[in-house]
Structure 1
Amino acid sequence: MSRMSVGMGLMVHSVLLLLTSGAVFAYQVENATSGGSVYFNESIPAEDNPAIQWIFKDAIIAQRFPGGTPVCIGLYGGRCELYVNGTLRLDRLTSVDDGNYTMTAQYPNSTIIKTSLYGLRVYTPVSNVKLTNSMSGWIWPGDSVSLTCSADGTVVNYSWSLQGAPLPNDSRYQFTQSYKVLTISPVFANDTGNFTCTAHGFLNSENSDEISLKLGSKISAVTLTSNTSGSYIWVGEDSASLHCSADGSNVTFLWNLKEGSVPPGPPYHISSQGDSPPQSNLLISPVSKTDAGPFTCEASNRLGNETSKPLNLSLAWKPEGNIACSAESDGQNIKLGCSWSGGHPAANVSLTFNGTIKNEITNVTSLVSKGNNFQGSDLICNGDQLGRTSHCTVPIGHPVAPGHNNNSITDAKVGGTLNLTVTVEPGLPVNFTWQPPPNNSRAYSVISTNFSSSYLIQHVTEKDAGNYECIAENIIGTRSFLFTVNVSEPAVVPPPTTTPAAGLSGGAIAGIVIGVLAGVALIGIAAFFIVKKKKSSGDNKRISEPDDQLGATVTYATVQKKNGGVAETALTNNEQEDDVKYAELKFPNNNSTMATVPPPVETEYSTVKTSIKQ
């Protein structure tokens, strides 16, 4: 039987050994692969019929007695075969089978013993080749790093390559453990690329996966941008997003606003985004006035840092409130103004008056002379800030009090409070005076502003009845506003009715009622009319004549009540008057309770005085 030859051209070695007895035997080494078979060949003549034993590690693994059947024993039962000529075949080899085997053959009726010695080398194919890095994180120039190659199977040696080519001859590359470990010390920035190791065995060779060093690089090209470039951002309404990127390894970003770091928490939100290239985002939602900038972004790593160029946001905020119209006077001139301040960027403001338009930023004024003919013109102010507008109008003319009626009557109660108020349209500042002026009593006071005045009377009495005039004056002219005040006694609450006492008859009660009515009939009623004649030319006529002044036309009339009828009398006039006046009185038991006067051509003011006689 021929000897099996094993892959990769391995040679079979034979050694002749000389024993002390003079017997000679051969030592052979057989190479085999794991899982394969091997033959240890012998050539003993079958007719010699010797006793044969095979021994491995001091244990008999196969034997044949003279004339008997060959058998395999122990671990090799079922995976070996012993032939009659002494040859042994082993199957399903593993690394456990690696070692030396001895065969002895003793012939019957003879002292001759044949001995053969065999060596077996079981080789496993190379597989599962791996390359690992001693540093899992970033590797910086100046560090040291070790790459280790490992493999399953029988490895003879290892080789290394970079980018598919053998490693350069560099003293920084150091090998240990039979080229199993590669150490690079120190690491250079140009130690880039893919490293590979190859495990070589007797049967095959296999490469590892490629591995590259995670080399750190310096920071460069730090760039800061914004999504709002070229447009305004409204404070309190809009958001802004800033984006920072850099070249380099293991980058850490720091955001700065003006001279300090961006405060943590809302309205600032910082997030990272990827490593190729490293990036960081800053969201400001919403922006405030302090976010104008400058913003900067600083990128850093182990090798240094670099800061971006500053970036400023174009913030905008509305002016305070609405545009304001103003009109002021120094007695000779009127200063008109329009103002809409506090905005950024500043608002454009226009002033229109009497056909003239002036435009400025934030504030615009115009000085006009008192003598100019502009009565009835309006001051018009318009403001515009980035399309957001505001408007106001102020009439320039005599004081005007919309809704005031000079002919209205104001009612007051004795002991109550009276408040007469005039409010004019905003425009030129107004000075207010009152007629009759309030006295120094604490019950009378006047409170005035540029456009409003109030005449306050506390603890009203009957003498507070009459006419009041508020005179409003500005640089253009004067207007009078009249009030007629009627003062009356508070209503008297009647006493509660009582039930007649028990025991009074109906006739007695009737007698009491008749007696009361008779007493009332004896009362004499005298009515005195004091008629003052006063001419008026409209709203602007002032009150100048006090009551009962000397030389005034005064007529007195006494009217007696007629039973159940109407008293009618002619008023007697003095010599200076030609007019005849009539008055009609109706008493409570008649249809009317008021005196009527035929409509006069001129305005008449009358005072009625009454007295009661017993």
Structure 2
Amino acid sequence: MDFHHSTSLTVYLLSILGYCAGQDALPSGPVNGTLGGNVIFKTTINPTTLFAISWTFGEPPVSVVDFVSSAGSVIGVGYVGRISLDNSTGSLELRKLTLIDSGTYRVSLRTADVIQVGSTSLIVYETISNVTLRANVIDLMELNDTVIFSCSVSSGSSPFSYRWLNGSSEVTARYGIQLGDGGRTLTIANVTRYDQGPYRCIVSNPVSSKPSQNLTLIISYGPENTTMKVTPLDVLYGSGSNLTLSCSAESSPSAQFQWLLNGTLLSNNGPELRLENIQANQSGSYSCWAHNTRTLRYQISEPSDITVLEPISGANITTTPNSSIIEGGSVNLTCDASGAIITREWMKDGHPLSAGGNIIISEDKRVLSINPVKRTDSGEYRCRVSNPISTANAKHGLIVNYGPDGMEIMGPSEIEVGQKITLTCSADSIPTSSYTWVLNGTEIPGHSPEFTKEKSEYSDSGDYTCTATNNVTGNKTSVVHKLSVKTEGSLSQGLSAGAIAGIVIGVLLVLGVAVGVAVYFMKIKGFFKKESSRSVGNSKSSANGGGPGGNQDLNYADITQFQKRDGGSVQLGNLGTSSTEYAQVRVNNRPGQPAEPPTYKSHHS
């Protein structure tokens, strides 16, 4: 047995028997090494002078290297060119590792007065390569299908650990997700659109880690959240406008789109519908229909009502009846126009008109009825029709025919012969009435409301009848006016009230003087004596119940003329009036008094 062999055997035996001053010359293991790589077994001692170092491997121990300070190093079989030894610490580097290098390594370190020993294990791993990710199915239906991923390694030393990623997020076991076969498989039940990936698996062992290639699932879903957008968005559109309807939906693969109007499919396909120069007959409820050819599902968007209005034109008012309107009858005014009419308003003579009294307005305000018609209903009627994009007005002048009524004749009741006659007849009437004149039953030619004659005659006296005729209403009304033609100069014209009063006073004075003179002459002639004797007889007769008694009123006497004794008469003249003036005479049955002519003073007392 050579020296080196005996040295390593001695060290080995001492380490087994515990004849040493120190343990744990190596840290606890194991030490992991990579196939083909290097590993260093570091001791726990600080650099010092070592007299002997011995490394062995396995059971029974096989010498790796022996070192004696006085003789140098001896490298074991199979380790030549693969090791390096630190003589100051005893650390060992082992290179070009092979799988059979895995095992237990021991070391013995001897200084001048102590021996330290230690052991550790080496595990040599092959690095992982060719990690492959597979799925049982790639094209799946959302909420219907389940996918199973499997991760495999073509080379590498176990044990393996597996880590799963969806994008950058780690996938862990939870509801609907299971990890199996030590983490080698991943199962996702009832996949959703958020499970599409990309997926990776990362396989690791103590010395290496390797990811797989990415794998992305195709998950079909939808359509969902199908929405329609109208551009430009408005409540109402005028005819001739251009609109664009766009439809979108959440769907994989992309949905196919069709368009519906009032629930009926249109021939248009695609996510966009262009409506150019749109007309009123294209108004309605639009919606889009989204269909997924993979899931065979479909969804219809919420409808959008598109209302197209034509501008209002040709506004007009028609009347029923269309003949002349007569007071007391009825009339309907109808307001119509071309285009979409949203509102109607009625006005009369510029003022808003509402229902009430004899005015009736239909619910849609198309027809305004007047019943019964009054003359005050005449005027200009206006109908205003409008929609949000336009306005139009129509007007109609309503003429209510009425009359004649309120007739009167203006003119004098007395004129002097030879003076001009002017009589004017008037009546309230629409249209203007025609007039006829009748004098004392005889029609006067002409139809003027005014009757004139330059020089009146006595034969012009009488009843003038004016008849007004309304040829539309068919009504006639007459009025009578009395005219008296007097003798020339018999009518005082143009006298003031003071002049008339003066004339009256003068006439009364003349009458008073005339009466006084008459009484005086009658007294001189004895007229009262004779009457006195008669009165006595009458008095007696009165006592018997006959004749007047007391103070009794007698009939009036005409005193405009007096009778002379010779049978002639005295004319007092024209007193300025056509009527006869009378004097009131009272008979006094008291005894007669001496007759004296009345004085001017007594006449007025």
TM-score by length of 1: 0.47
Structure that is richer in helix per residue: 2
- Asked which structure has the greater CA Rg, the reply is 2
